[in-house]
Amino acid sequence: MRYLSLVALIGLCFFTLPLQALSVYDLSCEHKVNPMGIEAAKPRLSWKLEDRANGIMQTAYAIRVATDMRFNRKSLVWNSGKTNSGQSVLVPYAGAALESGQRYYWQVKIWDNQGQESDWSEAAFWETGLLNTSDWQAEWIEPKQDTLQDGPAYLLRKDFSLNRNIASARAYVSARGLYELFLNGRKVGDEVFTPGWTVYHDRIQYQVFDVTDLVQRGENAVGIHLGDGWFRGALGWMDNWAIYGKAVGAICQIEVTYTNGQQATIVTDGSWKSSQEGPIVLNSIYNGETYDARKEMNGWNEAGFNMKDWDDVTVADHSKEVLIATETVSVRKIEEIQPVKVWKTPKGTLVADLGQNLVGWIKLKVEGPAGTTVTIRHAEVLDKYGEFYTENLRAAKAALTYTLKGDGLEVYEPSFTFMGFRYIAIDGFPGELSPENITAVVIHSDMEPTGTFECSNPLINQLQHNIVWGQKGNFLDVPTDCPQRDERLGWTGDAQAFCRTAAFNMDVSAFFTKWLKDLSADQLDNGGVPFVIPNALRQGGVSAGWGDVATIAPWTMYLVYGDKDLLATQYPSMKAYVDYIREKSGDSYLWTGGSVFGDWLYYKPKMTSHTEPDGYTNPDMIATMFYAYSSRLLSQAAEVLGKDADAKFYAELYQKIKSVFQDNYVTGSGRIASDSQTSYVLALMFDLLSDELRPKAAEHLVNNIRKRNNHLSTGFLGTPYLCHVLSDNGYTDVGYDLLLQEEYPSWLYPVKMGATTIWERWDGQKTDSTFQDKGMNSFNHYAYGAIGDWMYRVVAGIEIGAPGYKQIRIQPHPDERLEFARATFDSSYGEIASGWTLKDGQLQVNVTIPPNTAAIIELPKATITGVQANGQGVRENADLKNVEEMDDKLLLEVGSGQYSFSYSYE
Ligand code: RAM
């Protein structure tokens, strides 16, 4: 009884006290959580608001930044004071000048439109990098090495002593090559593939590690394991190697602060020693790794190791100006997968199936006599006879070879290579192989997952799964075309096609911030954008729809993340690219010869008996259409950045190209040259037609699809926009026809064939289980996964209203062939959700809008009187503003909160 009344009392307090619900969470700096190594002079700070009430808007913030976590007066470097502003995303630091190698703690508190004031948030931090080149006391050093393709990895080491108690320690490290850093026998950090892949001639990232717990008073040792990676290894298929330099090397600076405030600095210099006799005798991104455990040098990275037979290092005069703090999120081991099956193929090959086409490597557990060699090969698919199939890897050997040292259980995983595979073939395994001996380690850039999509059709859910795995496999520091064959390059066309979808599934803000700077760095002197970034093919060609990543990706990142600085940083590159085309096309406004790849891999009807023509689209026309589009995006970017003259100039340019395009390629009845799906898709998507011809062209597109029995025929350029153009022009049902199509060519055909990632070609594997041309047949190529964008934005209905989702548009497009569809997206303001259920003619739409944003919700086929909102009529519900019926839709404005609408949907 006493207990009960206590509960009642507490309950009473709860209900009578005002709800102090406003709080702040998810603090980030430059798109990252507690980043180490920030070089921006004014790092930008973001946070999210949490509140249970509806319609919450931030009205003011206060930020304080200090070098001490207690934020005492002495340590404060910025106190913004209460600042009236709704901005909660990318607020620039405006305090005292920042110092090198300093940790800055920060907190924020906010006020909202309901008169609430939050508490100070938990403290977050950022740490600056080495802000001046002169801060680098370390030298580039190089081990004694032969100029070898696929040679050994190197060991570098130094002993040092620290003679006082240690308060803190940092390591600043980079390599011309790939490195692993060790202190006193322990690997530093959980990153792999450091320092990442950039345009090394101009930019090499360094990493910053807090190594306070890894160093000790007394004797210490630092070791660096150094591989070839992208720097010296083969890249591309034309015997292209050592393109950034013939020698690998490293740079490392360890800064120790003692408890008495004194400092000690340990740097790479001529006193280090190196060895090329370590256990990795071959390292190569494409070919794999050969590891001889008998060559392991126990204790090489610990103090007091005997360096007999070790070599002197060379101090090299490479630029330190190129060193930049890490801009992206590092690559890490993200998850582990066990095989679902181990068996022998009809030909007797011992094979394990991981159940998922993935990117990473195998961790092997093995026990056996010294000198036993186990070889692991990798494949994405089995052939029609159930045999291991590696021909589509072309020249990439993709093999791990491990020789046992013979001392109990040995656990091996490689360091400087990765593979794209679902199956492995194992040779020479001593004893019986069981699934426990094998673990697949999945690695990729450590991007936060931000999106989910789900619906009532399991095939589409598998498609979404495949899109996400295509992204995991191909976002390994640069956006690659594929992860398995002798390619794995930053193909620009693929990246522009997929970047919007990618930005739904995961937070790619930092990832593209870095890669776009590499694009600028590798842009040709004439403004052209090479086929791949970094330009590992070392060619100077440009292709329409590939080079346009220079305008499309920054604009997309601006739309999704509201990052104006990114747009400003990329602006010169965007403009140089458009000016390159301007130069090529001159007064004709036609970019003749601008397309090398056309609408890459469009449908060519070899596989079925369809009699219809293929999906060919005139490449010159494609080039002119992209010229128009890029000019338009450039003019929009100029407008956002307040560059009025440019905005006007490129808007006029766009208009001229549009009219020349119409004169040259469009008939009075809205037919477009080539009469292909892609011709209509690009013309409509890029708004290149008159108001009068738009519906006619859309009709031609629909007729084309109907004639093909609801099949698409588009390639890399048309596919991403195909369904968008249909839904924008009133043919959402036709978009669904294509999405739900299970026969080739379609998105679901590979799914029906058992795909677990997106294929490069619509018919990578044919219905009789034979394969497409082995010269170009990747089973993990994300480009066609660009349909994901339509699933989020149109099927479920999460659309951007204003850059960064400060304004949201919710626009579900139900179709009776699905019972439900729902998506979530964790925007810079918090989670947005939109989902619908259609049952017995009754539609229910559920929506979540995060605080500090506003949304317009478009309810299809709804009327003011027909809709119940959170159990009330729309007129009665005070959270719904500006309710309006328009074009068979009901429009409502809402603030943050959760909303549920139901009505009869006939
Ligand atoms: C292929 C790549 C890529 C494509 C180019 C044109 O080799 O795999 O996907 O963009 O060619």
pLDDT at residue 239, rounded to an integer:
76
Q: Is residue 250 part of a domain?
A: yes
Work out which ligand 1 atom sits closest to the CA atom of 776: 7
Burial (CB count <10 Å: 0-12, 13-18, 19+), residue 881: middle
**For residues 452 and 795, is the Cβ–Cβ distance under 8 A?**
no
pLDDT at residue 1, rounded to an integer:
38
pLDDT, tens digit, 9 for 90 and up, residues 169-214: 999 999 999 999 999 999 999 999 999 999 999 999 999 999 999 9
Question: Comparing C-alpha atoms, which of 202, 320, 304 is closest to residue 268?
Answer: 320
User: Look-up: residue for tokens 């009776």?
Assistant: 816
- The angle subtended at Cα 48 by Cα 563 and Cα 898, nearest 5°, is 110
Between 218 and 237, residue with greater pLDDT: 218
Residue type at 838 in one-letter notation: L
Q: Is residue 344 part of a domain?
A: yes
Question: Comparing C-alpha atoms, which of 311, 300, 164 is closest to residue 222?
Answer: 300
**For residues 750 and 766, is the Cβ–Cβ distance under 8 A?**
no
Given a cut of 50, whether residue 780 has pLDDT beyond it is yes
On whether both 75 and 98 belong to a single domain, the answer is yes
Q: Provide CB contacts within 8 A for 250, sequence distance 6+.
A: 140, 141, 156, 173, 174, 175, 176, 177, 179, 224, 226, 268
Rounded CA-CA distance 848/832 in Å is: 5
Instruction: Tell me, using a 6 A CB cutoff, whether residue 905 lines ligand 1.
Output: no
What are the structure tokens assigned to 830, written together? Answer: 């918090």
Work out which ligand 1 atom sits closest to the CA atom of 716: 10
On whether both 188 and 104 belong to a single domain, the answer is no
Q: Is residue 46 part of a domain?
A: yes
On whether both 869 and 824 belong to a single domain, the answer is yes
Instruction: Tell me, using a 6 A CB cutoff, whether residue 530 lines ligand 1.
Output: no
Given a cut of 50, whether residue 131 has pLDDT beyond it is yes
Work out which ligand 1 atom sits closest to the CA atom of 546: 10
Q: Is residue 5 part of a domain?
A: no
**How are beta strands 842-849 and 798-802 bridged, if at all?**
unpaired
Over the chain, what is the mean pLDDT?
96
For the question of residue 760 being annotated catalytic, the response is yes
Candidates 760, 799, 816, 893; catalytic one: 760
Rounded CA-CA distance 115/478 in Å is: 46
Instruction: Tell me, using a 6 A CB cutoff, whether residue 493 lines ligand 1.
Output: yes
Rounded CA-CA distance 868/865 in Å is: 8
Signed CA dihedral, 93, 96, 100, 102: sign only: negative
pLDDT, tens digit, 9 for 90 and up, residues 429-456: 999 999 999 999 999 999 999 999 999 9
Q: Radius of gyration over alpha carbons of the chain, in Å?
A: 29
Q: What mean pLDDT comes out for the span 841-859?
A: 98
**For residues 196 and 328, is the Cβ–Cβ distance under 8 A?**
yes
At residue 115 the predicted structure's pLDDT band, cuts being 50, 70 and 90, is very high
At residue 238 the predicted structure's pLDDT band, cuts being 50, 70 and 90, is confident
- What CATH number does residue 877 fall under? 2.60.420.10
**Helical axes 719-728 vs 677-685, angle rounded to 10°:** 70
Rounded CA-CA distance 476/517 in Å is: 16
DSSP state of 805: G
Q: Is residue 660 part of a domain?
A: yes
Residue from 486, 487, 492, 595 whose mutation best tests the ligand 1 pocket (most atoms within 8 A of CB): 487
Rounded CA-CA distance 710/722 in Å is: 13
pLDDT at residue 6, rounded to an integer:
46
Instruction: Tell me, using a 6 A CB cutoff, whether residue 486 lines ligand 1.
Output: no
On whether both 54 and 119 belong to a single domain, the answer is yes
Q: How many CA atoms lie within 13 A of 322 on its CB side?
A: 18
Q: How far does residue 533's CA lie from ligand 1's centre (Å)?
A: 12
Residue from 394, 600, 761 whose mutation best tests the ligand 1 pocket (most atoms within 8 A of CB): 600
pLDDT at residue 605, rounded to an integer:
74
Instruction: Tell me, using a 6 A CB cutoff, whether residue 491 lines ligand 1.
Output: yes
ω into 745 cis (within 30 of 0): yes
Instruction: Tell me, using a 6 A CB cutoff, whether residue 494 lines ligand 1.
Output: yes
User: Look-up: residue for tokens 């594929």?
Assistant: 482
On whether both 397 and 434 belong to a single domain, the answer is yes
DSSP of 310-345? PEEPEEE---STTEEE--SPPEEEEEEE--SEEEE-
Q: How far does residue 582's CA lie from ligand 1's centre (Å)?
A: 25
pLDDT, tens digit, 9 for 90 and up, residues 292-348: 999 999 999 999 999 999 999 999 999 999 999 999 999 999 999 999 999 999 999
DSSP β-bridge partners for residue 314: 142
For the question of residue 367 being annotated catalytic, the response is no
- What CATH number does residue 154 fall under? 2.60.120.260
Q: How far does residue 478's CA lie from ligand 1's centre (Å)?
A: 15
Q: Is 322 left (phi over 0), alpha (psi -120 to 50) or beta?
A: alpha
Instruction: Tell me, using a 6 A CB cutoff, whether residue 784 lines ligand 1.
Output: no
On whether both 318 and 388 belong to a single domain, the answer is no
Given a cut of 60, whether residue 4 has pLDDT beyond it is no
On whether both 60 and 193 belong to a single domain, the answer is no
Range(s) of the domain holding residue 900: 797-904
Worst-scoring range by mean pLDDT, 5-14, 151-160, 425-434, 533-542?
5-14
- Cα dihedral 332, 336, 341, 343 in deg (nearest 10): 50
Q: What mean pLDDT comes out for the span 87-98?
A: 98
DSSP of 714-730? --TTTHHHHHHHHHHTT
**How are beta strands 311-312 and 410-412 bridged, if at all?**
unpaired
- Looking at the structure of the chain, the number of domains it has is 5
Q: Is residue 178 part of a domain?
A: yes
Instruction: Tell me, using a 6 A CB cutoff, whether residue 481 lines ligand 1.
Output: yes
Q: Is residue 333 part of a domain?
A: no
Between 883 and 8, residue with greater pLDDT: 883
On whether both 204 and 306 belong to a single domain, the answer is yes
The two most distant CA atoms of the chain are separated, in Å, by 91
DSSP state of 893: E
* Domain C-terminal end among 107, 128, 149: 128
On whether both 123 and 144 belong to a single domain, the answer is no
Q: How far does residue 8's CA lie from ligand 1's centre (Å)?
A: 68
At residue 850 the predicted structure's pLDDT band, cuts being 50, 70 and 90, is very high
Instruction: Tell me, using a 6 A CB cutoff, whether residue 762 lines ligand 1.
Output: no
* Domain C-terminal end among 665, 690, 725: 665
On whether both 306 and 232 belong to a single domain, the answer is yes
**For residues 763 and 745, is the Cβ–Cβ distance under 8 A?**
yes
Instruction: Tell me, using a 6 A CB cutoff, whether residue 597 lines ligand 1.
Output: yes
Q: How many CA atoms lie within 13 A of 529 on its CB side?
A: 35
Q: How far does residue 476's CA lie from ligand 1's centre (Å)?
A: 17
On whether both 542 and 627 belong to a single domain, the answer is yes
- What CATH number does residue 534 fall under? 1.50.10.10
What are the structure tokens assigned to 556, written together? Answer: 């997309």
Q: Provide CB contacts within 8 A for 745, sequence distance 6+.
A: 603, 711, 712, 713, 762, 763
On whether both 38 and 152 belong to a single domain, the answer is no
Whole-prediction pTM: 0.96
Buried b (16+ CB within 10 A) or exposed e, 593-628: ebbbbbbbbbbbbebeebeebebbbbbbbbbbbbbb
Q: Provide CB contacts within 8 A for 108, sequence distance 6+.
A: 24, 27, 45, 47, 61, 62, 63, 120, 121
* Domain C-terminal end among 393, 414, 440: 440
Residue nearest to atom 8 of ligand 1 (CA): 481
DSSP of 853-873? -EEEEEEET--TTT-EETTEE
pLDDT, tens digit, 9 for 90 and up, residues 508-534: 999 999 999 999 999 999 999 999 999
Q: Is residue 862 part of a domain?
A: yes
pLDDT at residue 597, rounded to an integer:
97
